[in-house]
Structure 1
Amino acid sequence: MKNFTAFLFVCILALTACKKDQSKEKQDVSDKTPSANSITAITKEAWIYGYPIFYNYKTIYANALDKTHAAYAGFNNFKSFASSATPADTLVITINNDTPYSMAALDVSSEPVVLEVPKIENDRYYVMQFVDLYTFNYEYIGTRATGNNPGKYLIAGPDWKGETPQGINKVLHSETNLIFLVGRTQLHDPSDVANLKKIQAQYKIIPLHEFTKQAAPPVKKYNLPLPVWKESDYSSPEFINVLNSLLQYANEDSSEKELRARFAKIGIVPGVAFDSSKYPPETIKAIEKGIEEGKQELESNLASLKDFGNLFGTRAELKNNYLNRAVAAAAGIYGNTTIEAVYTGSTNDKDKQPLLGNNKYILKFSKKDLPEAKYFWSITMYNLPKRFLVPNPINRYSIGNKTKGLKFESNGDLNIYLQNTSPGKDKESNWLPTPKEGNFMFVTRIYGPQPDVINNVWKMPLPEIVK
């Protein structure tokens, strides 16, 4: 045990690049070396911390690095989708079906970039959501935040201290050099696709040196390359190596100094390679146990999730709640901050029973209980556990107040039919098809939520089984 302890401590010192005298390394080893239980606890904490970073990188990798992927565009380029999502779209879970995406993976390590947006007609909602590597929604531009006028916005990393060029409306500073930009533009109906394409074609990302007509700056180099994205990595000690690569692109926030020091005890050090073969089996076993405990903690919280309201936002708004950040990434990564859009929904019916595809449900809104939205609202259907859109004979994946032909009762109430077969021709306008079997969930999105929605005064009704 004494030899194991000394060996582990030396490994940790090497990973953290300590330059201490060798004689000092051997002093008080038993006091400084983490126990197996401590390694497990740190691993659990680090696994939860890194989960949203890893799954954010999944999308960044597909968008910027994987040339075989349908979403590929390369760094600092938009990839736009000029149609509503379908069940074939599985890159993002709980995908948004109302506002087709214009996505861009940004790398501002060497220099900022300029985002240019056009004038957009007043009756069309759009938003550009800036998500840093941690998945904090750190800035917004769009209908709510900046209006529908044209604009140019400088997107800079944490270390940029240059002068703002003329013609820039605002500088948007990120605390990470890897950023995912999620653009959403409202599609009124299928006949509106041509108009949508014209708008999306005018979203531009311009390197700063091109915008200012100067020479390109030197390319910033990192110790470790960006990893090939593999799902299995996050279920093994290799997750440490992945984080060590990705965290090179993120400055250490002052609030995380002690946290990062704890992580270093299991080899999580930005830019330093982690080699599990250099660790004794007991250490690897403790790390693997921490991974499993992290998974269990996340799954437990995900299963009991009832409100998406406070899962998305800035670092200050989330108050460094890393578990909530991981739950948000697992439940619906890239969700908007509450002031932009509110998400609610359920996996259960009014009687607290799981929603099942072989049942027929009715979702009843009284006139006074309809969602209060400045822009629009919708309900989208997803299968479980995958949280993808549901194939159905009428190719309808969401329904809401902008759905053509939606019928209200004579008193202003609204009924939505959730079932896998038609509720009848006279009710199909209000039909949101469910899976043929198995569990499902729905998510209600409210764009431009009003105060009662934001403050949780308004409550989403739950489906009732049709007898």
Structure 2
Amino acid sequence: MTLACTATADNTVQNAPKYAADVPASLITPNSVDTKYAGELTFVDGFPTDETLEKSYDFLDTARAVELFESGMATASMYAMLHGHAEIGFEANKTVGVTEQLMDARSLWLTPNTTTPYIHTEIDVKNGPVVVEIGSPVIAIVDDAYFKYVGDIGAANPADRGKGGKYLIVGDDYKGEIPEGYIVMNTNTYRHWLIIRAVKLPGQTLEQSLTAFKNGFKMYPLADAANPEPNEFVNLSGKKYNTIHATDASFYNELNEVIQYEPAGSGDPEMLGLARAIGIEKGKPFNPDERMQGILKEAAALGNAAGRAIMYKPRDPDVYFYPDRQWFSPLAAGSHEFIDANGARSIDDRVGFHFYATGVTPFMVKPMIGKGSVYEIATTDNSGEMLDGGTTYSVTLPGPIPARAFWSFMVYDNHTRSILETDQKTGGVDSMKEGMKVSEDGTVTIFFGPKAPAGQENNWVQTMPGKGYNVLLRLYGPEQEWFDRTWKPSDFIPVK
């Protein structure tokens, strides 16, 4: 391809025009540019050659698909949560799941605990508002189809404060009247996840608190308020099913399902734009051709690797709790929207959180002294090496441990981020375990490894040789010493 007598190979202009600007070198594109990711790019007087056009669009589509993998992770995670339960028979606005005998590794969830029961359900307002009646003390949150926070139900809601109440979840496209007597939550998506913890009152057993919850809970469409169908409660303990989003190219199919179902414009415009750039657009079929299938496979591999790098070996010093420890959290900045003090969104924190965890609410990142819970994550030992299931480690929690209610350790599989599969049902240990060895000052040492050290059976968490894992330390009712960092756990120290 040539342009008639206007430029030479080195971009010098023949017969300089009378009206000429002093063009900075930074505005001139050389005829040949070497790049790390696309190799040589060639141009003729600034116009890309056919080969460079192909390389450029391949790179753009790959880069946008990688960015969509990262920015769409929250959306895919919510889809997987709701879809996983639909696959085992859940109906929106009707079925309520309860882990009555707690969680174990047979259910694939992102970083659940095995100390307290989970209660959860799907709310779908596509056909109109949905009523949620709460008749006992709970702590609960509603997140939308893109895993954005909608509101708190129960103790954290100022209109409830643990007394209970009637909530009304209303979509933006609802045109009818809103009746009086409801705590109204407005939302711009159809599907939602309601996750609940029943509050156990003094003197109550776990079973009694769950019974009180069931007796006081109702969920139904507002249109059926005069004669609502009874809810169905399903015990999920021990059930094998998956609620975790894909990390291969099928990830993009999950995003497409959300975009097709939810109202137009309900998602973040930037994310929807990235989706559109690779062929995912509301109202249109998503049928990537052979070229795009290859790009999506590459992008998912890169996006998955980036998510694992961000979560398992963070490079941001601000996510670490202590300058001399390996413990960290993507919530360390204290914002459920991942916004820093300067108003910038921490993209890596958002990716790390949604790769690893579920449930978005301001309540979880801004606990008060003696209330709520805080979280610290360990993925490496004291020398920065990946935790190895065939090695025995010790972790010491100095006494007194600043947890007014209780504390717990949980171990999770590096592949799934769900409970590590072992012979221990709990997948961890907590301060309520009978027979645990505790020093006079409250110090506790816990051992992680394939076999318990002699005499430490009640202070031991099982791991599996050949399996990498990560650990989450939870403190319920954190005390001042945690907030001011005067208390800190030891790192994982290999036992010789």
| Deviation for aligned residue 1:178 | 0.9
| 1:176–1:461 CA distance, 2 compared to 1 (3 A) | farther
Question: Which of 136, 145, 149 pairs up with 1:137?
Answer: 149
| 1:208 paired to 2:240 | no
Displacement, 1:87?
A: 2.1
How many residue pairs are counted as aligned between the two chains?
Answer: 402
Match of 1:415 in 2: 445
Question: Match of 2:61?
Answer: 39
Query: Does 110-119 or 286-295 show the bigger shift?
Result: 286-295
Equivalent of 2:99 in 81, 97, 106 = 81
Q: Does 1:401 align with 2:431?
A: yes
Question: Contact 2:395–2:491 (CA<8 Å) still a contact in 1?
Answer: yes
Cα distance in structure 1, aligned partners of 2:264 and 2:298: 29
* Fraction of identical pairs, as percent: 21
Q: Which residue of 311, 316, 340 corresponds with 1:302?
A: 311
**C-alpha contact (below 8 Å) 1:244/1:272 kept by paired residues:** no
Q: Distance in 1 between matches of 2:481 and 2:174?
A: 40
- 8 Å Cα contact 1:109/1:157 also seen in 2: yes
SS at match of 2:457: helix
The structural deviation recorded for 1:108 is 0.9
2:390–2:467 Cα contact (<8 Å) kept = yes
**Contact 1:80 1:200 (8 Å CA) reproduced:** no
Q: Distance in 2 between matches of 1:272 and 1:251?
A: 12
**Hey, what does 1:331 align to over in structure 2?**
356
- Cα deviation for residue 104 of structure 1 reads 0.6
Question: Structure 1 length as normaliser, TM-score?
Answer: 0.73
Q: C-alpha deviations, 1:309-365, integer Å up to 9, x for none?
A: 259965475866555434323212336631353221212222323322333322212
User: Larger relative contact order (C-alpha < 8 A, sep ≥ 6)?
Assistant: 1
Contact 1:382 1:390 in 2 (8 A): yes
| CA displacement at 1:201 relative to structure 2 | 1.8
**Please, which runs of 5 or more residues in structure 2 have no aligned partner?**
2-49, 229-241, 315-327, 367-371
CA distance in 1, matches of 2:73, 2:375: 21
Separation of aligned partners in 1, 2:379 and 2:209: 33
Tell me the CA shift for residue 391 of structure 1: 5.2
Once residues 58 and 301 of structure 1 are traced to their aligned partners in structure 2, the CA distance between those partners, rounded to angstroms, is 21
Contact 2:378–2:470 (8 Å) recurs in 1: yes
Q: Where does the alignment leave 5 or more consecutive residues of structure 1 unmatched?
A: 2-29, 121-125, 215-228
Q: Distance in 2 between matches of 1:265 and 1:78?
A: 38
Return the alpha-carbon distance in structure 1 between the equivalents of residues 223 and 279 of structure 2: 38
Given that 2:61 and 2:295 are in contact with CA atoms closer than 8 Å, whether structure 1 keeps it comes out as yes
Residue identity matched to 2:272? R
**Which of residues 440, 454, 461 is equivalent to 2:469?**
440
Equivalent residues of 2:83, 2:243 under 8 A apart? no
| TM-score normalized with structure 2 length | 0.69
C-alpha distance after superposition, 1:13-47 (max 9, x if no partner): xxxxxxxxxxxxxxxxx9x9983322222222222
Q: Which residue of 408, 416, 426 corresponds with 1:386? A: 416
Q: Which has the higher helix share?
A: 1
Residue 265 of structure 1 pairs with residue 292 of structure 2: no
Contact 1:344 1:460 in 2 (8 A): no
Equivalent AA in structure 2 for residue 294 of structure 1:
G
- Report the counterpart of residue 357 of structure 1 in structure 2: 389
C-alpha distance 43-374 of structure 1, shift in aligned 2 (>3 A): same
Give yes or no for contact 1:452–1:458 (8 Å, CA) kept in 2: yes
Within-5 A mapping of 1:173-252: 173-185=186-198, 192-202=205-215, 203-211=217-225, 235-236=248-249, 240=252, 242-247=254-259, 248-250=261-263, 252=265
CA deviation after TM superposition for structure 1 residue 272, in Å: 1.8
One-letter amino acid of the counterpart of residue 406, structure 2: F
Q: After the TM superposition, which of the residue ranges 337-346 and 428-437 deviates more from structure 2?
A: 428-437
Query: CA offset at residue 409 of structure 1?
Result: 0.8
The alignment's C-alpha RMSD in Å is 3.7
Q: Whole-Å Cα distance in 1 between the matches of residues 284 and 131 of structure 2?
A: 32
SS of residue matched to 2:167: strand
CA distance, structure 2, for counterparts of residue 180 and residue 144 of structure 1: 17
